């Protein structure tokens, strides 16, 4: 089991990226503080000689390793609520990171592919010396996980892949329309209103939530310091680059059958009304 030194024992903790935890208030502040207190390590990891560096964070000290992989346009903070729940079990050590050239990771804007992003994951796992990991991924992150499962499954112990599909991915008209609307939204609230149905059920958004004392939609569309939805993870050009990565997803049904033959437990979940 790999155990990193505590924050007080290491000089690798970078304070600037961690300042984002301080902007949350209310219910989200409680979750942010809980996750921040569980931080074991954060670091920039060099991927190549061209200055590309992956930013990652490690939480918890449990025996079982979980690697979270982001969707396109999202950030490592998307999994904050899940991390908070897993911390209660005291069984897991978790890693979140931003894909190359996005979010807090460093590097020049470049053409991305799920195969390239899968190679980044291999390098990250090797860097962490974790051996095998349990993967939780969403959308583009799930496509990337499938690439890794197909070409180098030895890194993966199990996987939960959300919003995933096989074959050549092409964005639907709904997805294209949503991206355009978000790009030209006049406010952060409008962006959240457009994004909310992708991440939350219609029932949660429309119904009054007793514990929140408002509807789900009202809760997620609050100002950034109150909302569980994180800000978009990059510029419009970064979003285009990530869409191109999704369109490079070539794992077809034959590939899925090969993944199945590895006998690695994988759950692929697609939404009940998914328009992607």
- Strands annotated E in the chain: 39-46, 53-59, 64-69, 92-97, 133-138, 156-162, 208-209, 214-215, 266-269
Task: Measure Cα distances from 82 to 157, 226, 235, 275 in Å.
Answer: 19, 17, 26, 24
What domains appear along the chain, each with residue ranges and CATH number?
Answer: 19-269 (3.40.50.1820)
Q: What is the pLDDT of residue 135?
A: 98
- DSSP letters, 219-264, are HHTS-TTT-SSPPPSS-HHHHHHHHHHHTT----HHHHHHHHHTT-
Arithmetic mean of pLDDT, 77-101: 95
Cβ-based neighbours of 36, under 8 Å, separated by 6 or more: 18, 21
Residue 271 reports pLDDT greater than 70: no
Arithmetic mean of pLDDT, 138-151: 92
Are 20 and 14 within 8 A, CB to CB?
A: no
Arithmetic mean of pLDDT, 17-34: 92
Q: What is the pLDDT of residue 44?
A: 94
Cβ-based neighbours of 256, under 8 Å, separated by 6 or more: 146, 166
The side-by-side arrangement of strands in the sheet containing 64-69 is 39-46, 53-59, 92-97, 64-69, 133-138, 156-162, 266-269
Burial status of residue 265 (CB atoms within 10 A of its CB: 0-12, 13-18, 19 or more): exposed
Residue 37 reports pLDDT greater than 90: yes
Residue 9 reports pLDDT greater than 50: no
The pTM of this model reads 0.86
Return the DSSP state at 139: T
* 131: helix, strand or coil: coil
Q: How many CB atoms lie within 10 A of CB 4?
A: 16
Highest mean pLDDT among 6-10, 219-223, 267-271 belongs to 219-223
Distance CA 22, CA 32 (A): 8
pLDDT tens, residue by residue, 217-239? 999 999 988 988 776 656 677 87
Angle, CA of 164, 168 and 172, to the nearest 5° = 70
Alpha helices, H only, 48-137: 80-87, 114-128
Local confidence band at 4 (pLDDT 50, 70, 90 cut-offs): very low
Cβ-based neighbours of 48, under 8 Å, separated by 6 or more: none
Pairing of strands 92-97, 156-162: unpaired
Q: Is 29 left (phi over 0), alpha (psi -120 to 50) or beta?
A: alpha
């Amino acid at each position: 089991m790999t155990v990193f030194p505590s924050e007080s024992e290491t000089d690798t903790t970078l304070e600037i990226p961690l300042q984002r935890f301080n902007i949350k208030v209310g219910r989200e502040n409680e979750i942010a503080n809980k996750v921040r207190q569980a931080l074991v390590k954060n670091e920039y990891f060099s991927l190549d000689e061209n200055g590309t560096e992956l930013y990652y964070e490690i939480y918890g000290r449990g025996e079982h390793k979980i690697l979270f992989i982001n969707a396109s346009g999202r950030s490592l903070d998307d999994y904050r609520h899940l991390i908070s729940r897993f911390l209660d079990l005291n069984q897991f050590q978790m890693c979140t990171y931003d894909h190359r050239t996005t979010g807090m990771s460093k590097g020049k804007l470049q053409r991305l592919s799920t195969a390239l992003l899968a190679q980044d994951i291999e390098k990250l796992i090797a860097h962490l010396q974790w051996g095998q990991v349990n993967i939780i991924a969403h959308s583009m992150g799930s496509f990337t996980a499938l690439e890794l499962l197909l070409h180098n499954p030895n890194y993966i112990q199990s996987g939960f892949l959300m919003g995933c599909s096989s074959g050549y991915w092409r964005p639907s008209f709904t997805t294209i329309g949503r991206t355009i609307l978000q790009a030209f939204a006049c406010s952060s609230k409008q962006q959240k209103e457009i994004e909310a149905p992708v991440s939350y059920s219609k029932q949660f958004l429309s119904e009054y939530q007793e514990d929140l004392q408002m509807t789900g939609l009202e809760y997620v569309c609050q100002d950034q310091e109150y909302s569980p939805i994180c800000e978009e993870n990059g510029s419009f050009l970064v979003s285009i680059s990530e869409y191109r990565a999704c369109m490079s997803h070539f794992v077809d049904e034959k590939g899925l059958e090969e993944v199945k033959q590895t006998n690695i437990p994988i759950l692929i979940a697609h939404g009940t009304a998914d328009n992607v």
